[in-house]
Amino acid sequence: MQQPRGLDGILDKIWDNVKDNFEKIKGKIEEFPKYLDERLEEIRDKTYYRLRKVKDGMSEYKPIIGSVIAASPLLVKLSYLAGSYIANSHKGIGGNIIKYGLIGTSLVLTVGGLIFGFHGIHSLPPNHVQELGSPNGYEAFVPHDTINYNGNTDPTGDLILNNGTTLHNTIWNGQYSNTIIQSHNQIVQLNDQFVGQTDPVNNQPYVNLQDFYVIKGQVPVEQVTINGQPYTVVEAGSINSGDIAGLYTYDKWVPNFEVAINTPGTYAARLPGNSPVFQWTNTTGTVASQTLQYNELGAGGYILVLPNKIIPYGIVNSPSGSALANFDSPQQVYNLPS
């Protein structure tokens, strides 16, 4: 058949080429979402495998990672949620393409936020100080050992936040480092001396006591890696000395103590010398009596009073911050209800 000449012929030829090329790529477009699904599943499986290998190390960053997710800008969350919603509501090629576009936008925003810092929260590079805990709550550092950090010997242990979250592998760096090491060594020596013996007051075996250091308000920390191990470093030099106080109690009660001092209605008191609590034939009576025996470490015979129980504890000589006077030197005397 004779082809049209002139401009009409040229336009017809262009149109035929466009139709042919469109038909060729149409099938590929239809396969594109399937291809993306397969690749994403492959990436997911490989990523899961690698994350499983570093799960223990990553656990140290849970509180920080959680704060990043919680503080992500609305645009990031909406991009991901919108992509998932459209994919479920609009089946077929169009819905899937929009889905991947929006989820891709979410990923780009999230990665960019992690690199450059989301507005309103601290960025997360190593050696960057940020605040953990509650401005109106109490956090606690629990020493267990020592570590060489930046040429200094610092105590290392756990940081318990006001909500009960525990960060293991925490270093206390700065003021009171030596004091904490000395006090902890002292309580270890006292435990070695007393544990295994029987309390003559209630005829119960002595238990291990543990020192810990309460901080009023948020704690400045940074993330570091030492010999491949991630650590949380408390920058104690940035904490007001009046906001730190040392206490001690039964080692298994320290997490409960931290929760208790952050519970509204809890208050501290001291036991009178003739209190029947010292004669209770349970761990409460033992710890109350034992804190008096550790007078080299500080003063004993104090309790936290909760609605349905009491927690005996003692006070380490130093630090003794004035902001924690309600726990460090309570004036109220506790008498058992008659």
pLDDT, one tens digit per residue, over 223-275 is: 999 999 999 999 999 999 999 999 999 999 999 999 999 999 999 999 999 99
Nearest to 171 by CA among 160, 182, 161, 159: 159
Cα dihedral 36/38/43/44 (nearest 10): 110
Q: What is the pLDDT of residues 183-206, one digit of tens each?
A: 999 999 999 999 999 999 999 999
Q: Mean pLDDT of all residues in the chain?
A: 78
pTM above 0.75, yes or no: no
**Which letter does DSSP use for residue 176 in this model?**
T
Q: Which residue has the tokens 């005829």?
A: 203
Q: What is the pLDDT of residues 73-124, one digit of tens each?
A: 444 444 444 455 444 555 555 555 554 554 555 554 444 444 443 333 333 4
Contact between residue 316 and residue 246 where contact means Cβ atoms under 8 Å apart: yes
